[in-house]
Structure 1
């Protein structure tokens, strides 16, 4: 290996690490607010990329019908809860179940966007409401369950969404049009514009999340919910809406990740699973609690994967996932056991 090959591998590691970093941020956000280890996070990546590809082909993505079906199911559940005397926030329910699904249907069926910007916006509006709708259907009824039960639900939901992905998009893979076709030569190393778009958008999203959680009232409410859910509820913070918002942000981040990687690699219906797992490895490095450590872990995973693909290509996935073992061993030495009930 010479210096040029090392720099090329380093570039690939940075680009891949940026995507894994977004996955890690979404996983840490969802877990810290709702205690859910959200295994299906990768499905938002695949659905976002494949929906964009279908839109660019001039067809209607089947994710629209999934969105409308989930919205109808959640409306029925909310009405049933209201009839049984539960307090229902109809403003948020109508926003997730009526306003956004109808906006997505209008964009897809009536406006039929042909520009890159219009298709990107349509894809994001298609995918983002799936997060809170899945939360209300699958996780909110089990809000008091232990982490293991929530993990089992996540695994089951992952299986359902992967099967739906195969039904919606078939077994063939898709690529989308790149956001930038530029080519640059930096220090003798060829760099394509799409790679710079991936890194740039990732940095912007990380900065936006930093400002959101540090400066906005809603972000501070989410942080309070993550630190102490009971205390946040006693302080008047609607923790159920915190779950909606965290899942919406996770779905949005997943959709953006799918749009970023689709021009660089062929995306299949199950591609998101491996991407999500590598983001989970990065989140484990951060202890499922620290955003900066999760980002650092994502860059480590990206670099390890890139260089392992050169030195030991058949074992690159094994090497990446083996990274969990020393991290968990180190954390077990520096933490005390806590019963789940505590």
Structure 2
């Protein structure tokens, strides 16, 4: 896919997710079939540039190009400064966050809260585009602030006029959060309103759903978020299905084991042992969800206090499964509704 001046492997995008799409996860998704992975949201507050969290989010060492960094904020000058700051540190695409529904973001009138203030949106878009004239700027937004105010088509036209090069649309309003069903008809209306690429996002959980969303919305590509948590191979599955109409066999237990292990090792290296251990817990929980005996495994794993113990537990769990049958992946677990313990 030709996208804002880059030749991508395909039209499959990894959605930016706070606390998830760090460099190890982005690299893994690209390796397993994603055409582009957008970074976690990076603050536009210059006072936080030196924080460990912000510096990690701006770390792109060894990352496969193109490198897309999402910035968030509500002040045009600060957003412009943040764009320049991240381009100076390796960003090849700047993405503006106008889609996050989280209260702590919306309470400072950033993220999807911006959709309520259309003049401010225009000032932010113009400021960022002008700040990095040689770098493509993209925008991620929702269909509107609430169901009575679905202004995405109007904002899309405004964005194109301001120089935004592509749009990603989550098919829900800010008020919907992540409830209900994504509205692909609104995305289709947005696509008809502009000539720049439009990427559809929301509820894309299978290769068949990706095909359906492309057909309904007319979008140029699809963006996968939560469905890739613990299933980064979903991108190769979608890629294969879109190309051939055939479904790939689900991954064998041995491959899930290998991918999980390598991902966790990357997390240790990226965050350090203490933070890596804690952050790895949610990813291990996602990798093992739905596997026989996984609820008891997760319960015990989340209480381990060293990386060696955590890795040994991963090896023991998957080793036991593979010894029984290498095709046991995703067999229902009687206790699978147990609450996942986050990092």
Bigger helix fraction: 1
Same fold (TM over 0.5): no
Q: Normalized against structure 1, the TM-score is what?
A: 0.28
**TM-score using structure 2 length:** 0.28
